[in-house]
Structure 1
Amino acid sequence: MLFNSYLFIFVFLPVTLALIVAGRYLYGARGGLACIVSGSLVFYGYWNPIFLVLLLGSILVNHQIGLRIMKTPGKHPKTWLLVGIFLNMGVLGYFKYWNFFLVSLAQVLPFDPNIHPLVLPLGISFYTFQQIAFLVDVYHKKIKRSSFLEYMAFVSFFPQLIAGPIIRYNTVHGQFISPEWLRWNNESFATGLSLFSLGLFKKTVLADQLAVFVGPVFDAGARGDVVSAMAAWTATLAYTFQLYFDFSGYADMALGLGAMMGIRLPDNFNSPYRAHNFINFWQRWHISLSHFFRDYLYIPLGGSRCSFPRHLNNLMITMLLCGLWHGAGWQFVFWGGMHGLFLMLDHLRESRFPKLRLPRPLGVLVTFLVIALLWTAFRAVNMGTALYLYKTMFCLSEFLKSVQLSFPTFDIANFITAGSGSAPYWLILSALIVWGLPNTAAWCRLYTENKGAFPVVQGRTKAIVAGMLFFVSLKVLAGTGSSEFLYFNF
């Protein structure tokens, strides 16, 4: 079931919200949690019921291991922690990396890998990391109690189950048991509805329309067909904006759904394409994943509290594993390694040459272009396709042949349907939105001095704009149909 589908918007969501409100009213916090869990299991089981068994088994096993860590004295809690991490990574590794491992091994050793296609369970990368974080936090005494119902709600909470954000247990535990959660809050619902509308607009009107310029070029590159330099650059920039609007749109919708139910989830984006270097980019992009790798890998490796060469080594290891987390392929290893390299260069410059820096606007432009080029490898089906497109993009003679010195004639009908001639206008529109408009947090004023409270989406103007975006999104959705979010693949 997709957030951007009529079934979800007009059937599942209103029914689930009504049940949660009724459950809280009749049976208190536990009634509301039971309805959240029930709705979340229906939501996840709709995709493929067999994977619901895997999710429930993972929840049961991890909760029991967490209880063993809490209750076991002496050095044995560390044993349980290692068992939990091994089991979680074992399941994730089997579904996500087993075939990749066999194929890579077969390229070195002479044997038939005998590959059997494995279907990747939706959200397994996210709920696996979320539960590993839970076990580590229990081990470090940051979590001292957890009922099974609260834990089920924490892991299976449907707004963030499939593609994040990766939340910490203590982030929602206090909200699940707070008196405020038992009361209906008009302000949080209004904020949630506005967030959901903004996210739906990003997905249906922006990301899905940009996808028209991406798929054909990357598919042609995978087949080895001739691709012009202009087409390769257009597809790269279109994908750069598509991925941003697709993933940030999902994050906005997740935040909005949580707010409708009175649960505040952490923000996952802070205008990452406005970053002036790679350090700044990873402080803004996929914030919950960055925090996970920082807290549970980078810092345990030594972080920056060690010799400078080791600090750089820790950065590279972290980013290589971050790349591999996104997908089983050498193109993801390359993507993570290049991000690691540019992070190392930024830290080296800040440490050794602190006054050597680009003017901020130029830094934003250079960072964006490098990130866009790295997204090419991220989108490619394999490293060979990525190299082919890079070769095409940087062949000056081919670029001069394919470049068009004037924009095509603007056709509103062609623009609305994302026709091939409208690519420049969609890229310009995307750029204006990314760099010219306030981001979601600023628009809805999510961050206030009164932390934890839901601010009102103030003003009739914002309410009217959100309603218009929602209406436009539904109209586009009616004509194009719903499509999966890109991060469902990871």
Structure 2
Amino acid sequence: MMIPHMIPYANPGYFLWLLVAMIPMVVLLLVKGVRWQWYQILVTCAVLYVSFGGALWQQGVALIGYVLFQTLLVYGYHKLRQQKNSSGLFYAAVCLAILPLTFVKVTPFMTGHGSIMNFLGISYLTFKSVQLIMEMRDGMVKTYHPWRYIQFLLFFPTISSGPIDRYRRFEKDLLHPPSKEDYLVYLEKGVSKLMLGLLYKFILGYFFGQVLLPVVTREALDHGFLSWGMLGYMYVYSLYLFFDFAGYSLFAISISNFMGYDTPANFNKPFLSPNIKEFWNRWHMSLSFWFRDYVYMRLMFTLLKKKVFKSRILASNVGYFALFLLMGVWHGLTWYYLLYGAYHASLICINDAWLRWKKKRSQPLPSNRWTKALGIGITFHAVCFSFLIFSGILAQLGCK
């Protein structure tokens, strides 16, 4: 019987195939506390075939070529990194690691159509590759096992929608399955996240995305920027984006838990954040922390070490704009993604300035549940406005 193409976590049929495939893994971990690596590889191949087979065979070929390229690149860097000119080698390796993603992002802008190198999840795999190269340079990863690295890249629960795991954490889980007692906790978490994901993705996400969003979109486009329709669109789209994406992340973490992996969380009640910095510590956390650790902190270290700016505050603000503009470019080379990045960088800078001003006051400002509620409200509306920019509806409005 032919296995049909299925988008990961997009329909009940995908879950049916996946949960049936999970049964031997679950039984082995429950009864013996062991994991058959060969069976996990077999399921991985089946899931990749289901995800990238049929009409998407070109994406499957691109994925295979990409993984081979990254595996050889990291192997080469690992072998040569002890040379005297290791700094130049490091930057060359990082540039080569992001080259396929850069090509994929630039091609539509230059040619008007997508790249043949593109496949679902290329961004997440690129972040994993760059991460490992950087950690090798820092001495945090001292040995390289190509087969483990390939399993890290092709870990199917997270390949399409994240979260972005760390290699050392994944390798630990890969080599050391949980005990039977610990696996019961994993299983409980997996079931809980699966149920919550179903609520988010197929009930709330469907309601906001399929029922309400088309209605408010028409109203917004018909009545323009300064209209109730646009205001409704802003909130509906923001809630749809959260429930849909958080639902996907919950599914990925849930399936990981069933397999005995403790994949990190991706969302933590972001709309209850009292300020914009806290929001980015709760929204798409694995991406936020990746950019923080591998872009912002390293950029700040360079700016301060080289004394590019005399003021640490100015260096920090420049770092925020570089970080969020890069995040905007990662989403796509369009003006509204760049504006989205610049807007969030501005919010972060304003938030820091506010904190500095509060610290300098002789009399502290009140801090209680009411001021916290006010902060949550302001942050929620500011974030929703950013998602209005991110959605691209303003570009559609300008084309009318």
What's the TM-score bracket when you normalise by the shorter of the two chains?
Answer: 0.7 to 0.9
Equivalent residue number for residue 215 of structure 1? 214
C-alpha distance 86-386 of structure 1, shift in aligned 2 (>3 A): farther
Letter in 1 for 2:337: F
**Offset of residue 309 of structure 1:** 0.8
| Structure 1 position 337 matched with structure 2 position 342 | yes
Equivalent residue number for residue 384 of structure 1? 395
2:70 and 2:129 in contact (8 A); partners too: yes
C-alpha distance 17-62 of structure 1, shift in aligned 2 (>3 A): farther
Which of 1, 13, 18 aligns to 2:24? It is 18
Equivalent residue number for residue 97 of structure 1? 106
**Offset of residue 215 of structure 1:** 3.2
Listed one character per residue, the Cα deviations across residues 397-423 of structure 1 (whole Å, up to 9, x for unaligned) are: xxxxxxxxxxxxxxxxxxxxxxxxxxx
Which of 255, 261, 264 aligns to 1:263? It is 261
Matches within 5 A, 1:72-471: 72=80, 73-100=82-109, 102=110, 115-118=112-115, 120-180=118-178, 185-211=183-209, 212-218=211-217, 225-227=222-224, 229-302=227-300, 307-354=312-359, 355=364, 359-381=371-393, 383-385=394-396
C-alpha distance 333-144 of structure 1, shift in aligned 2 (>3 A): same
Within 2, Cα distance between the matches of 1:310 and 1:172?
34
Letter in 2 for 1:196: L
Within 2, Cα distance between the matches of 1:125 and 1:322?
11
2:26 and 2:258 in contact (8 A); partners too: no
The secondary structure found in structure 2 opposite 1:166 is: coil
Within 1, Cα distance between the matches of 2:201 and 2:261?
23
Equivalent residue number for residue 307 of structure 2? none
Letter in 1 for 2:66: S
2:28 and 2:35 in contact (8 A); partners too: no
Within 2, Cα distance between the matches of 1:384 and 1:11?
40
**Offset of residue 146 of structure 1:** 3.3
**Offset of residue 362 of structure 1:** 0.7
Within 2, Cα distance between the matches of 1:58 and 1:164?
18
Within 2, Cα distance between the matches of 1:387 and 1:372?
20
1:44 and 1:158 in contact (8 A); partners too: no
C-alpha distance 158-17 of structure 1, shift in aligned 2 (>3 A): farther
C-alpha distance 44-146 of structure 1, shift in aligned 2 (>3 A): farther
Unaligned regions of 5+ residues in structure 2, if any?
A: 1-5, 305-310
Using the size of structure 2 for normalisation, the TM-score is 0.84
1:85 and 1:132 in contact (8 A); partners too: yes
**Offset of residue 243 of structure 1:** 0.9
Within 2, Cα distance between the matches of 1:74 and 1:229?
62
The secondary structure found in structure 1 opposite 2:178 is: helix
Listed one character per residue, the Cα deviations across residues 365-406 of structure 1 (whole Å, up to 9, x for unaligned) are: 01111111111111125x5346799xxxxxxxxxxxxxxxxx
What do you get for the CA RMSD once the two structures are aligned? 3.0
Letter in 2 for 1:49: W
2:197 and 2:246 in contact (8 A); partners too: yes
The secondary structure found in structure 2 opposite 1:160 is: coil
2:107 and 2:113 in contact (8 A); partners too: no
**Offset of residue 178 of structure 1:** 0.7
The secondary structure found in structure 2 opposite 1:284 is: coil
Equivalent residue number for residue 49 of structure 1? 57
C-alpha distance 220-181 of structure 1, shift in aligned 2 (>3 A): farther
Letter in 1 for 2:142: K
Letter in 1 for 2:59: F
Within 1, Cα distance between the matches of 2:115 and 2:131?
26
Higher relative contact order (Cα pairs below 8 Å, separated by 6+ residues): 1
Within 2, Cα distance between the matches of 1:225 and 1:28?
56
Equivalent residue number for residue 462 of structure 1? none
C-alpha distance 41-20 of structure 1, shift in aligned 2 (>3 A): farther
Within 1, Cα distance between the matches of 2:399 and 2:373?
31
Listed one character per residue, the Cα deviations across residues 18-72 of structure 1 (whole Å, up to 9, x for unaligned) are: 3686799899654254235424432442372222222222222222222223222
Letter in 1 for 2:214: G
What percent of counterpart residues are identical? 24
C-alpha distance 290-356 of structure 1, shift in aligned 2 (>3 A): farther
Within 1, Cα distance between the matches of 2:16 and 2:136?
39
**Offset of residue 329 of structure 1:** 1.3
C-alpha distance 50-13 of structure 1, shift in aligned 2 (>3 A): farther
**Offset of residue 332 of structure 1:** 0.7
The secondary structure found in structure 2 opposite 1:264 is: coil
Within 2, Cα distance between the matches of 1:62 and 1:28?
26
Unaligned regions of 5+ residues in structure 1, if any?
A: 103-113, 390-490
2:321 and 2:342 in contact (8 A); partners too: yes
Within 1, Cα distance between the matches of 2:179 and 2:49?
22
Which of 11, 32, 45 aligns to 1:38? It is 45
Number of residues paired by the alignment? Answer: 374
Within 2, Cα distance between the matches of 1:203 and 1:28?
30
C-alpha distance 300-27 of structure 1, shift in aligned 2 (>3 A): closer
Is 74-83 or 263-272 further displaced after alignment? 74-83
1:181 and 1:262 in contact (8 A); partners too: no
Within 1, Cα distance between the matches of 2:214 and 2:347?
28
Within 2, Cα distance between the matches of 1:182 and 1:37?
23
Within 2, Cα distance between the matches of 1:18 and 1:5?
23
C-alpha distance 362-80 of structure 1, shift in aligned 2 (>3 A): same
